Structure 1
Amino acid sequence: MNEVFAIEGLVALLLRFALIAVALFAFVTSLTYPAEAYNAAGKWTKQGWTIVLGLAVLFAFVPLLPFFISLAFVIASLVFLADVRPALSGLRRR
């Protein structure tokens, strides 16, 4: 029975590291684009995304938060990576 709990703990730890990596990548990526690019792409402001993604990184390190709060910030990070980042990278000068 202890082996099951050990595997469950390992999976939870790996999942937490993956969530931290996604949130950190989204946060750093949000900092690399200028504020004008967010406006030109018709997306939320740079300050707004930076605050939300910064909180996602901060809360990813807090293991005692309720699951739905962590899930909300992970979803925000994934929305940034799936929707905002491609729109911003399409505006880059070539």
Structure 2
Amino acid sequence: MELLYSLDYWVVLALKIIAIPVGGYAFLHALRQRADAFTAAGKLTKNAWLGITGVALLLLVITSGPMYGGAMFWLAATVATLVYIVDVKPAVVEVQGGGPRW
């Protein structure tokens, strides 16, 4: 039974560590895009998304330890990052002419 508790800990820790570079990617992508593309795509402004993804990245780094502290903040930061990657990023890239942009 102890192995299952240990496995749970390592899976959660791995997810938390993987979330950090994903958050960094979202922030850097938002940073590299044109400001007018965000409003043209019908999304929040570039500065708003830089704030959201920047704070999310900060929270992901701060809460990357054990799941016991800051789990709600980690979850909110992960959701914000994934919303940017799944919803905002494709819309902004499409407005700027399609093609792959990291």
TM-score by length of 1: 0.85
Residue 2 of structure 1, CA deviation: 4.4
Q: Alignment partner of 1:61: what SS?
A: helix
Identify the residue that residue 34 of structure 1 maps to in structure 2: 34
Identify the residue that residue 91 of structure 1 maps to in structure 2: 95
Which ranges of 4 or more aligned residues in structure 1 deviate by more than 2 Å? 1-9, 63-66
**Residue-pair matches, total:** 94
Amino acid in the other structure paired with 2:43 = K
Structure 1 segments unaligned to the other structure (5+ residues): none
Residue 3 of structure 1, CA deviation: 3.2
CA-to-aligned-CA distance 1:23-56 (integer Å, 9 cap, x gap): 1111111111111111111110100100110111
CA-to-aligned-CA distance 1:61-92 (integer Å, 9 cap, x gap): 11375222221121111111111111111012
Percent identity, please.
Answer: 32
Structure 2 segments unaligned to the other structure (5+ residues): none
Return the alpha-carbon distance in structure 2 between the equivalents of residues 84 and 8 of structure 1: 32
